Structure 1
Amino acid sequence: MAIPGPDVVRALRGIVGDTHVLTEPDVAASYLTDWTGTWTGEAAVVRPADTAEVADVMRACAAHSVAVTPQGGNTGLVGGSTPTPGDDRPWVLLSLRRLDTVGDVDSQGRCVGAGAGATLASVHAAAAGAGLAFGVDLAARDSATIGGMVATNAGGIRMIRHGDTRAQVLGIEAVLPSGDVFTRWRPLRKDNVGYHLPALLAGSEGTLAVITRVLLRLVPAAARTAVALVGTVDVAAAQRVTRSIEASGRLIEAAEIMTRAGVDLVAAAGVRAPFDSGTTLLVETAGDTGDLSEALAAAGSDVVDAVVEAGPAREAWRLRESHTETIARSSTTPVVKLDVSVPLDRVQDLVDRVDRLAAAAGVRAVQFGHLGDGNIHVNLLDVPLDDQCTAADRVLRMVADLGGSISAEHGIGRAKAASVGLGRDDVDVAAMRAIKSALDPCGIMNPGAIFADP
């Protein structure tokens, strides 16, 4: 029985209104299947309007032992924001899209409050209106929501400059499984009183509480930026180019890598690629185009070719940001998508090993990602359905062997729950489980995410 019984459904409708409890499969379908199309569960979809309604919903679910999965924009790639397929316990998918308010920007304190359902694009717009910027950016900015980004501790293309989402969280409001509301909301850069619970909730993937509002740090906006697409022989050469730029004193805002397979795929779909090269580096720096051109000239023979233009250089960024959707359309089977990171001196090793693995298996590999922090998005296309789990496991074990992380910025979700031991030892996992049990003693918060059910 994945949909709660009629008494629970009536109680939920009494809280949020009849039109905001969806139980018909065709109406709820878009909420219950993840972005990749891989994960589909069953649940009643509940759409609260504010924190008070979230709290009442959580009390009702706790009283009736109903599992709850919070969901933002449903742009996740690891099955963390949809119910567990085939699980027959009563389940509510708690959509937070209606909590989409963005507050007034505090220009002096450089912060802004945003509801969990506010899109990243709306936060960018509010910050820009005050002459500031929000330090996290993603290609899915128009649909990714702040609550989901905090819950997964999203990284994105600006992490090399400003850090991940956790680094932007000054305060948080969240509803605990009991229905109690936890609020820590002070625009302070220094507030060292006890455990940093907002940081704990960042990356918790809905397993500890429901995030409803976030107080976000803002940063000064760069007056000018310059963007270059740089052709290099391989990833190692691209890394030397970025180090040369940094050594010249230029401040790097973003450094993205695209291998030849991905660039060719995107170019075939109609996005212009300026040159042919083994690897393409997209780098954005603060300052003007002349500064960046000088820095590239100093990189010497590692730069095979380059084009430089003033930011925001949307066409150059389109080459990078078109990868995910183009890859999804190009595969004959669901793409095996793995978000991983390795030490910077092992990135070339990872790319080479994945290419060899794909060639041996007769499938295609497309790799791209955030060069500055060692985060590579590994995509395996055309993998037969029966071989997908094995292929994913082989890559994750390869990453662990290189001293890397099996999840860099997308979370663990359900897709990687069985592989947590590759990234955390037994003592570490036991400590995380103890935290989970303390805050969610009845185990109703997003069961199956992060931890595979015993």
Structure 2
Amino acid sequence: MARHGLDAVLTRVAGIVGSPHVVVDPEVTRPYTVDWTGRFHGTTPAVIRPGSVEELAEVVRVCAEARVAIVPQGGNTGLVGGGVPLEGELVLSTRRLTALGEVDEIAGQVTAGAGVAISALQERARAAGLEYPVDLAARDSATVGGTIATNAGGLHVIRWGGTRAQLRGIEAVLADGSVVRHLGGLPKDNTGLDLAGLLCGSEGTLGVVTAARLALVPRLPERVVTLVGFEDLRAAVAVVARVRRGLSCLNAAEVFFADGLALVCEVEGLREPFGRSWPVYVLLEASDHDDPTERMSSALAAAGVTGDVAVGTDARTRAELWAYRERHTSAINTLGPPHKLDLSLPLPMLPDFIARLPEVVARHAPSARTWLFGHIGDGNLHVNITGTAPDDEEVDDIIFRMVASCGGSISAEHGIGTAKKRWLHLNRSAAEVRAFRRIKRALDPVGILNPNVLLPPE
């Protein structure tokens, strides 16, 4: 669009949201144009910050009429470039949509605006004696809208499921500026298509989520975190499987490795948890109404654990143990923009895949380093490659093809974004991709909503 045409659009938009919320200063807009990893960069003529669903709908309507593309953006904690204005699109920020309703304690639900931080949602739920079960390390900046757009998984999937499992209703603005609102929260509502389920995971390509009705779970006040050292991953996978069968109150099962732990301790100034280094570390968390510490101990003993074990039962020690796992991402980022590949593999194949991976990467990129951690309970492995150029995708290609050959997924919880769209065919058939395109064209015929993510070029 010509500059004068864009200026006219921005003038109209300023009349809707107010001039202070049409940000054009490059110094202010710059943080909106790069993803959290620092690998994906874009540009934008303006960041638009509507304060209500009505304002956002009017903005989308103006952009649709003028055929101006927009990128919806929440907390900008994405890791695959899905919220970056890659081709100079306007950024439509949902950060001001922070309305957070009172908890419906009878239904165990709450309605939250797209701009509500996950940590704020968790605090509101806890004050009512409940929990919002989706949790992730970026909880203080990740937003409700962003986690719905990517169907975020997080730390507690093995017990409560991911974001889609918590959705009981949605409010969203479609590409023509119309508003769909279905926030009743009925557990049983069989009146046609599930728009909430369709929009969840669509990465802002079908509509802009403005609010959601979310299910909460009981707050279980007694909690224990256990860190266990293992000599090899195969033994760790087997132990986690046995513990899951014997411990119904297990919330999380996380894995990381000696090199990653050493980096975290170096960067964060932490002391290593044991007197010796173990090749593999597994962190387990359980919660219940009664203290689960003895049950955790019994489950580990029954599973044949013989390595070092550290136990945290109070808030301070639990946080200290979690820090070894949750600070991996920030520690790795100190080495430069990493290639972050969140993969999902069948659990029986996980040990062999991890054993082969560093050698395969080193063969094709001798200067690269491989850093691994993830959710061992559900087979979600976070592969981080440092020491390669941000735009060098040769190693990504090799790893994605390895994953697909094992029957795994190239994206477990981060989405496709721009980082993985050229490999979508590895997990989705041509017929499925055509169906995706038809849905996109039906809901966004002009193609203004996040046009450069998820779907590869035709």
Q: Same fold (TM over 0.5)?
A: yes
Evaluate the alpha carbon distance shift between residue 247 and residue 42 of structure 1 in structure 2; reply closer, same or farther with a 3 A threshold. closer
Residues 164-243 of structure 1 correspond to what in structure 2 (within 5 A)? 164-243=162-241
Give aligned-pair identity as a percent: 46
Residue 326 of structure 2 is aligned to residue 321 of structure 1: yes
Report the counterpart of residue 422 of structure 2 in structure 1.
418
The alignment partner of 2:284 has SS state of: strand
Report the counterpart of residue 101 of structure 1 in structure 2.
99
User: In structure 2, how many angstroms separate the alpha carbons of the residues matched to 1:375 and 1:246?
Assistant: 16
User: In structure 2, how many angstroms separate the alpha carbons of the residues matched to 1:335 and 1:197?
Assistant: 34
User: In structure 2, how many angstroms separate the alpha carbons of the residues matched to 1:248 and 1:25?
Assistant: 55
User: In structure 1, how many angstroms separate the alpha carbons of the residues matched to 2:375 and 2:247?
Assistant: 20
CA RMSD after TM alignment: 1.5
Give deviations 1:44-66, integer Å, cap 9, x for gaps.
21000010000000000000000
User: In structure 1, how many angstroms separate the alpha carbons of the residues matched to 2:384 and 2:160?
Assistant: 26
Amino acid at match of 2:358: D
Instruction: Point out where structure 1 has 5 or more consecutive residues left out of the alignment.
Output: none
Residues 358-377 of structure 1 correspond to what in structure 2 (within 5 A)? 358-360=361-363, 361-362=365-366, 363-377=368-382
The alignment partner of 1:242 has SS state of: helix
Report the counterpart of residue 55 of structure 1 in structure 2.
57
Instruction: Note if contact 1:447-1:453 (Cα within 8 Å) is conserved in structure 2.
Output: no
Report the counterpart of residue 299 of structure 2 in structure 1.
295
The alignment partner of 1:101 has SS state of: coil
- How far 1:82 sits from its partner (Å)? 1.0
Amino acid at match of 1:374: G
Evaluate the alpha carbon distance shift between residue 11 and residue 303 of structure 1 in structure 2; reply closer, same or farther with a 3 A threshold. farther
Residue 19 of structure 2 is aligned to residue 32 of structure 1: no
Give deviations 1:222-261, integer Å, cap 9, x for gaps.
1311110000122221122222223334421000000222
User: In structure 1, how many angstroms separate the alpha carbons of the residues matched to 2:423 and 2:456?
Assistant: 9
User: In structure 2, how many angstroms separate the alpha carbons of the residues matched to 1:435 and 1:297?
Assistant: 51
2:309 to 287, 306, 309: 306
Instruction: Note if contact 1:272-1:319 (Cα within 8 Å) is conserved in structure 2.
Output: no
Evaluate the alpha carbon distance shift between residue 311 and residue 241 of structure 1 in structure 2; reply closer, same or farther with a 3 A threshold. farther
Report the counterpart of residue 350 of structure 2 in structure 1.
347
Instruction: Note if contact 1:227-1:311 (Cα within 8 Å) is conserved in structure 2.
Output: no
The structure 1 segments of at least 4 consecutive aligned residues displaced by more than 6 Å after TM superposition are none
Instruction: Note if contact 2:71-2:204 (Cα within 8 Å) is conserved in structure 1.
Output: yes
- How far 1:183 sits from its partner (Å)? 0.8
The alignment partner of 2:377 has SS state of: helix
Give deviations 1:376-401, integer Å, cap 9, x for gaps.
00001112456x31011111111111
Report the counterpart of residue 73 of structure 2 in structure 1.
71
Amino acid at match of 1:192: N
- How far 1:353 sits from its partner (Å)? 2.1
| Number of matched pairs | 446
Report the counterpart of residue 47 of structure 2 in structure 1.
45
User: In structure 1, how many angstroms separate the alpha carbons of the residues matched to 2:314 and 2:12?
Assistant: 52
Instruction: Note if contact 1:224-1:311 (Cα within 8 Å) is conserved in structure 2.
Output: no
The alignment partner of 2:393 has SS state of: helix
The alignment partner of 2:176 has SS state of: coil
Instruction: Point out where structure 2 has 5 or more consecutive residues left out of the alignment.
Output: none
Report the counterpart of residue 403 of structure 2 in structure 1.
399
Residues 263-274 of structure 1 correspond to what in structure 2 (within 5 A)? 263-269=261-267, 270-274=269-273
The alignment partner of 1:446 has SS state of: coil
- How far 1:373 sits from its partner (Å)? 0.8
Give deviations 1:327-360, integer Å, cap 9, x for gaps.
010x2x4211101101111111221121212332
Report the counterpart of residue 446 of structure 1 in structure 2.
450
Give deviations 1:124-160, integer Å, cap 9, x for gaps.
0000000000110000000000000000000000111
Give deviations 1:317-336, integer Å, cap 9, x for gaps.
0111100000010x2x4211
Amino acid at match of 2:76: N
- How far 1:2 sits from its partner (Å)? 9.1
Give deviations 1:379-426, integer Å, cap 9, x for gaps.
01112456x310111111111111000000000001111111111010
Instruction: Note if contact 1:13-1:20 (Cα within 8 Å) is conserved in structure 2.
Output: yes
